[in-house]
Structure 1
Amino acid sequence: MKAIQYKDYGSSAVIELVEVSIPSIQNENDVLIQVKAVGVNPIDMKIRMGLMKEIRPVEMPFIPGGEAAGIIVAVGGGVSKFKVGDEVIALTWKNAYAEYATANENFVLLKPEGLSFEEGASMVVNIGTSQSVLFTEGKLEKGQKVLIQGGAGAVGGAMVQMAKAAGAYVIATASGNGVALAKSLGADEVIDYKLQDVSGIAKDVDLVADTAGGEAQVKLFQVLKPGGKLLSIAMPPSQELAEQYNVKAYFVVSDISAKTLQSGIDLIKAGKFKTIVSKTFKLEDAAIAQDFLTAGGVNGKVVLFID
C-alpha cells in the first residue's frame, strides 16, 4: 500500500511516499480500515520535528497521522460494534497517512450519514478536544460566559459550536475571514485580535479556552472573573499569573474516545454542528499540506484524501 513515512526527525523535507505492507490486525478488538481521508493536526508536525520525543517517542521509520475516515475491511475476533463494510471515523493515534490503518473499536464511530469522508476525517480531534476542554475539564454550563481563543481554527470552530449548543454566551477571537466564520458558527461576539485588545473588551469570563498559546495567552488572564478557569491545549499557563488573578489555569490533555465524541456526533445529526474543511490535499502531497497548516491563518481543517 501507499503510505507517507519519514526515517528521522526534521522539516517537511524528511517526508516520503513509500510502498509498505498492509497492516494486519494484531488485537482482537481492532478493525482494519481502508482509509479514504486523513485529518492533518498540529501535533503531526510537532512529532515530525522531534518536539514531542521526550513524552511521545516514535519508532523510525514512522507513518504519521492519528485521525482517519474510511471503510472497515476486516475486524478482530472480539469486535462487536462494527462489521466489514461500515463507513467509520476513527482515532488511530498513528499510521493514518496510509491507504490502510488499524484502530481499536473503542476509538471508532460510524460516520454520520450525509458527511463526506473528508468531513468525517476533519472532526475526530476537534470534537474530542472540545468536549475535554469545555465540559470534562471546564464544566461549562448554560448561561456561563466562555472566551475561545482562535475561534475560527479547526478546534476553536468546534468549540464555538459546542459551547453555543450548550447554552453558553460565546466570545471568540479571530482575524481576517475568520471573523465572519466565527460569527456564522454562532459566536455572540467576535474580537479581531489583530485590531482590538481582547483584555479591554471581554470581562467577567467564566472559562477561557486557549487554542493558540504564545504571548497572547498572558492577556487572557485579565478577562476572567475571580475563580474562573483558563484551559489551554497549546502550552501550560503561568501558575504565578493564575495565583495573581485568583483563577485556575492548566494545560489539558484531551480524552478522545468514542464516548467523548458522541455529543458532537449527536449535534451533527441534529443539524447543530458544521464540519469545516479548509483545504484538501492528495496523500502524496502530505508535506505541502503540513507546511500549509504550519504557515498559520487556516480557518477550519486541513485534510488529506486518498483516491
Structure 2
Amino acid sequence: MKAIQYRTYGSSDVIEQVEVPIPSMQSENDVLIKVKAVGINPIDMKIRMGFMKQIRPVEMPFVPGGEASGIIAAVGAGVTKFKLGDEVIALTKKNSYAQYVTANENFVLLKPKDLSFEEAASIGVSIGTAQSVLFLEGKLEKGQKVLIQGGGGAVGGAMVQMAKAAGAYVIATASGEGVALAKKLGADEVIDYKLNDIATVAKDIDLVADTAGGDAQAKLFQVLKPGGKLLSIAIQPSQDLAGQYNVMAYFVASDISPENLKQGIDLIEAGKFLPIVSKTFKLEYAAIAQDFLAAGGVNGKVVLLVE
C-alpha cells in the first residue's frame, strides 16, 4: 500500500511516499480500515520537526496522522462494535497517512451518515479538543462569556459552535475571511485581532481558550474577570501572570476518545455543527499540504484524500 513517511526529523523535505505492507491487526479487538481521508493537525508537523522528542518520541521512519475516515476492511475475532463495510472515523494517534490503518475498536466510531469522508476526517481532533477545553476543564455553563482565539480555525471553529450550543455568550478572534466564518458558526462577537487590541475591546470574560500561545497569550490575561480561567492548547501559561490577575491558567491536553466526541457528534446529527474543510490534497502531496497549514491563516481543516 501507499503511505507517507518521515525519514528523519526536519522540514517537509523529509516527507516521502513509499510502498509498505498493509498493516496487520495486533489484537482481536482491532479493525483494519481502508482509509478515504485523513485530517492534518499541527502536531503532525511538531513531531516531524522534532519539537515533541521529549514527550512523544517516535521511531523513524514514521507514518504520521492521528485521525482518519474510511471503511472497515477486516475485523478482529473479538470485535463487537463494527462489521465489514461500516463507514467510520478512527482516532489512531499515528499511521493514518496511508491507504490502510489499524485501530482498536474503542478508538473508532461510526461516521455520521450526512458527512462526506473528508468532513468526517476533519472533526475528531477538533471536537475532542473543544470538549476538553470548554467542558472537561473549563466547566463552561450557560450564560457565561467565553473568548475563543482563532474562531475561524479548525479547533477554534469547533469551540465556537459547541460553546454557542451550550448557551454561552461567544466572543471569537479572527482575521480576514475568518471573521465572516466565525460569525457564520455562531459567534456573538468577532474581534479582528489585526485591527483591534483585544485587551481594550473585551472584558469580564469567564473563560479564555488560547489556541496559539506565544506573545499574544499575555494579552489574554487582561480580558478575564477575577477567578476566570485561561486554558491553552499551545503552551503552559505564565503562572506569574495568573497570580497577578487572580485567575487560573494552565495547559490542556486533548482527550480525543470516542466518548469525549459524543456531544459534538450529537450536534452534527442534529444539524447544529458544521464541519469546515478548508482545502484538500491528494495523499502524495502531504508535504505541500503540511506547508499550506503551517503557513497560517487557514480557515477550517486541511484534509488528505486517499485513493
* TM-score of the two chains, using structure 2 as the length reference: 0.99
Q: Which residue does 1:222 correspond to in 2?
A: 222
Distance in 2 between residues matched to 1:27 and 1:16, nearest whole Å: 29
- The amino acid across from 1:138 in the alignment is G
Distance in 1 between residues matched to 2:203 and 2:106, nearest whole Å: 40
Q: Which residue does 1:88 correspond to in 2?
A: 88
Distance in 1 between residues matched to 2:28 and 2:136, nearest whole Å: 30
Where do 4+ consecutive residues of structure 1 move more than 2 Å? none
Tell me if 1:25 matches 2:30: no
Distance in 2 between residues matched to 1:30 and 1:155, nearest whole Å: 28
Shift of 1:75: 1.2
Q: Which residue does 1:145 correspond to in 2?
A: 145
Shift of 1:80: 1.0
Shift of 1:36: 0.3
Shift of 1:263: 0.6
Q: Which residue does 2:115 correspond to in 1?
A: 115
Taking the TM superposition and a 5 Å limit, the aligned residue runs for 1:14-163 are: 14-163=14-163
Shift of 1:28: 1.7
Distance in 1 between residues matched to 2:141 and 2:108, nearest whole Å: 28
Tell me if 1:283 matches 2:246: no
- The amino acid across from 1:3 in the alignment is A
Shift of 1:12: 0.2
Deviations 1:29-76 (A, max 9, x none): 211100000000000000000000110000111001011000011111
Distance in 2 between residues matched to 1:108 and 1:69, nearest whole Å: 9
Deviations 1:280-304 (A, max 9, x none): 0000000000000000000000000
Distance in 1 between residues matched to 2:164 and 2:123, nearest whole Å: 17
Distance in 1 between residues matched to 2:207 and 2:102, nearest whole Å: 37
Q: Which residue does 1:270 correspond to in 2?
A: 270
- The amino acid across from 1:248 in the alignment is M
Tell me if 1:207 matches 2:207: yes
Distance in 2 between residues matched to 1:105 and 1:247, nearest whole Å: 40
Shift of 1:104: 1.4
Q: Which residue does 2:244 correspond to in 1?
A: 244
In structure 2, list runs of 5 or more residues that go unmatched: none
Distance in 2 between residues matched to 1:270 and 1:251, nearest whole Å: 31
Shift of 1:107: 1.3
- The amino acid across from 1:179 in the alignment is V
Shift of 1:97: 0.2
Matched residue SS, 1:208: strand
Q: Which residue does 1:304 correspond to in 2?
A: 304
- The amino acid across from 2:123 in the alignment is M
Matched residue SS, 1:230: strand
Shift of 1:111: 0.3
Distance in 1 between residues matched to 2:241 and 2:27, nearest whole Å: 46
* TM-score of the two chains, using structure 1 as the length reference: 0.99
Q: How many residues align?
A: 307
Q: Which residue does 2:178 correspond to in 1?
A: 178
Calculate the aligned-residue CA RMSD, in Å.
0.6
- The amino acid across from 1:226 in the alignment is P
Shift of 1:188: 0.2
Distance in 1 between residues matched to 2:256 and 2:83, nearest whole Å: 22
- The amino acid across from 1:53 in the alignment is K
Distance in 1 between residues matched to 2:224 and 2:79, nearest whole Å: 46
Distance in 1 between residues matched to 2:268 and 2:93, nearest whole Å: 23
- The amino acid across from 1:62 in the alignment is F
Distance in 2 between residues matched to 1:105 and 1:235, nearest whole Å: 31
Distance in 1 between residues matched to 2:243 and 2:104, nearest whole Å: 41
Identity of aligned residues (%): 81
Matched residue SS, 1:55: coil
- The amino acid across from 2:247 in the alignment is V
Matched residue SS, 2:288: helix
Distance in 1 between residues matched to 2:275 and 2:188, nearest whole Å: 19
Distance in 2 between residues matched to 1:123 and 1:285, nearest whole Å: 21
Matched residue SS, 1:203: coil
Matched residue SS, 1:231: strand
Distance in 1 between residues matched to 2:78 and 2:144, nearest whole Å: 43
In structure 1, list runs of 5 or more residues that go unmatched: none
- The amino acid across from 1:118 in the alignment is E
